[in-house]
Structure 1
């Protein structure tokens, strides 16, 4: 359990994982996302709400889709950047890492308990 771990625990990187270059990781991410049926469902449900049927529909779809992908990618890049900085900072402070693990474990238990006692609607 997360809150019972040693307070001096180290950040352990997974063993035996193949490291890939940035370009390959980027290409794999694009392929995975392009083949994800949830992505297609999102675009088919969300974007048509903003399309003018009297204008070039395909062009609008491409423009709005490109804007959405660019915004999502920018958000992912920012989060990844700050997560890497946080990991580097936490690697220097094992006690802070232990506290974060304890807090995240307590949060998960609290969320689970709230689901257990929540009334079903309907």
Structure 2
């Protein structure tokens, strides 16, 4: 178990990293701004579930595969890039939501939740980041490696959940205003499409 001092330092570092603009929080911001804070929180829960997968990979040493195997890294990153391009196409084609129409009908929680999981799990850079970041806060005297990684992973997820949920609520205010303007909605959809394309390009060109 990491020491209290180590956990405090880790929480501070995790919160800073969670608020720094990156693929995950930009993804949450975009979704919440387009469809409301509840959508952002649903996607956030999916992203945090994906972080559980990456925590397990680091704890059991499987993340090394993505760091050492060019094929595994390439296959996963292109799968993630393809999914982002799919989202970009959907956002580009989307029209304004009618105030009384079906477009405002909430999407099922499971679909938004799954979207967050896929977005996170198909990014091998997250696994490699965890592999580089978490061990810095591991103390050999505090016990076995895997339990410490598990604790740090859960703490990091809690920090991400807090940060991304706050981002969702703030973006939700923007969403409420966008719903009053069809032109603003179309513009936001186009901007979201460009952001997804940019994230896809960044992921596709990432190096292990």
More helix by share: 2
Aligned match of 1:48 in 127, 135, 150?
135
Query: Is there any run of 5+ residues in structure 1 with no aligned partner, and where?
Result: 1-12, 102-122
Give the superposed CA RMSD.
3.3
- Larger Cα Rg: Structure 1 or Structure 2? 1
1:14 aligns with 2:91: no
Q: Find the residue that maps to 2:176 and give its secondary structure.
A: helix
Which of 143, 157, 165 in structure 2 is aligned with 1:69? 157
Segments of 4+ moved more than 2 angstroms: 89-94
What is the distance in 2 between the residues matched to 1:87 and 1:35? 28
Mapping 1:1-122, distance limit 5 Å: 14-15=94-95, 20-54=107-141, 55-92=143-180
Q: TM-score with structure 1 length normalisation?
A: 0.55
Q: Distance in 1 between matches of 2:178 and 2:111?
A: 28
**Bigger shift: residues 78-87 or 23-32:** 23-32
State the structure with bigger RCO (CA 8 A, min sep 6), 1 or 2.
1
